[in-house]
Amino acid sequence: MANCAIVGINWGDEGKGRMVDLLTEDYDVVVRFQGGGNAGHTVINEKGKFALHLLPSGIFRSGVVNILGNGIAMDPENLWMEMQDVMAKGVEITPDNLKISDRASLLLPWHRNMDELEEKRLADKKYGSTKQGIAPFYSDKYQKKTVLAGELFYPEELKVHLADLMEWKNLTLTKVYGAKPYTMEMIEEWLEIYCEKIKPYVCDTGAFLKEAQANGKNILFEAQLGSLRDLDYGIYPYTTSSNTTAAYAPIGSGLPSTKIDDVVGVVKAYSTCVGEGPFVCEMFGDEAEELRKNGFEYGAKTGRPRRVGPIDIVATRYGVEVQAATAIALTKLDVLSYMDKIPVCTHYLLNGEQTDRFPFPSALKNAKPVIEYFDGWKCDISGARSWDDLPKAAQEYVTFIEKQIGCPIKYVSVGPERDSIVIR
């Protein structure tokens, strides 16, 4: 039996959802272990096109059990809306194929509100939050000022707990931000409309996973965002508020004793980044616009145009190291087919010296990209299904990246559809 984590190597949006959707064929259980509804996985399969935010990407495969682990930001409102959306397209979601950890902390109504108020206060110094309440949620979780999903089974105690938290949060809302306070009626409405809907899915997922492991089931851990957005190893403070790394998967899933056998790191054939923060390899002007258009680089959650650039070897090598990736899935290679010459950021120039080490976050703003150009292949490669189907120039591009980042590229994705893949 094998456990596998699918993680992002870069800034997120690498195509993890697409890879989970493909690889779930070999897995019995898919677990989301961190983050919340603040990012989106786009999945295209025979059931249609879906933008998933919280639901694990194994939800489309019959027989696969999907778990929202204790490490996620469990937002009852967003999850219920997403479930309704996906179910409306004919996908079955029941307590048999979706299970929510009773130890997952709940994202409370004021978290979204706090996120918005703080971004507004920061004005031009904003972090570029998706305003889904993720940062306020995780700060409260670590302050022990939120509630666990399992508390829904103790309604009387839960109301007392929520009233205490509300009293505390209202102090910040009214005195710091001059915003309106919450009332217990509002909280009861939230409990009634959203929490009651997700309650049937809440259970002891840790016990389920332990049993699944004992029975030799294959477990897939699905991450959100990427190495460079990891709270501890990313471009702090322009990171997310959770750990996006494979090493966190056992903890955030509810299976702390497990060892992960394979870590598939997803790398895009070029770079994209949503929101604020240093992005050394960024392209601008027409060149950027053309790449953005060809790759359809607009956020799945917000629709924001993504910042784009050539593949960044320095950041990618660091991302591979942070994730301890054992194999790489290189996605969106087909997008580069229009280019005569393909730029690659091979090094950074920092304080007049060339470096291949990813710098400390504060130094990133002074780093400049060193660009090398590769021959383009200038033909449609979306029909490639084997290594030999790829033109020589595309093979050379892939093998160059592989050598530079020090990890085998096992999958090359040439289109968003499930079968648009070359497996080496």
Residues that bind ligand GDP (CB under 6 A): 8, 12-18, 39-42, 44, 300, 331-332, 334-335, 413-416
3-state secondary structure of 341: strand
Instruction: Give the DSSP letter string of 88-130.
Output: HTT----TTTEEEETTSEEPPHHHHHHHHHHHHHHGGG-----
Does residue 102 have an active-site annotation? no
Nearer to ligand GDP, 18 or 111 (CB): 18
How many CB atoms neighbour CB 301 within 10 A?
Answer: 15
Asked if 49 and 354 count as a contact pair (C-beta separation under 8 A), the reply is: no
The question of whether 13 is a catalytic residue gets the answer: yes
Distances in whole angstroms, Cα of residue 40 to Cα of each of 20, 35, 300: 13, 11, 5
The least distance separating ligand GDP from the CB of residue 382, rounded to whole angstroms, comes to: 7
Taking the complex as a whole, the smallest distance from the CB of residue 306 to ligand GDP amounts, in Å, to 9
Q: Which is nearer to ligand GDP, 208 or 238 (CB)?
A: 238
Catalytic residue among 21, 28, 41, 230: 41
The SS3 assignment for 413 reads strand
Distance, in Å, from the CA atom of 139 to the CA atom of 118, rounded to the nearest integer, reads 13
| Nearest alpha-carbon partner for 307 in 50, 44, 49, 128 | 128
Give the nearest distance from C-beta 28 to ligand GDP in angstroms. Answer: 21
Q: In angstroms, what is the minimal distance from the CB of 18 to ligand GDP?
A: 4
C-alpha separations of 70 from 104, 141, 159 in Å: 4, 11, 21
Q: Which one, 230 or 334, has the nearer CB to ligand GDP?
A: 334
Q: Least distance to ligand GDP from the beta carbon of 408, Å?
A: 18
Residue 10 CA to residue 405 CA, distance in Å, equals 12
Q: Which is nearer to ligand GDP, 18 or 169 (CB)?
A: 18
* Alpha-carbon torsion (178, 184, 188, 191), positive or negative: positive
| Catalytic machinery residues | 13, 41
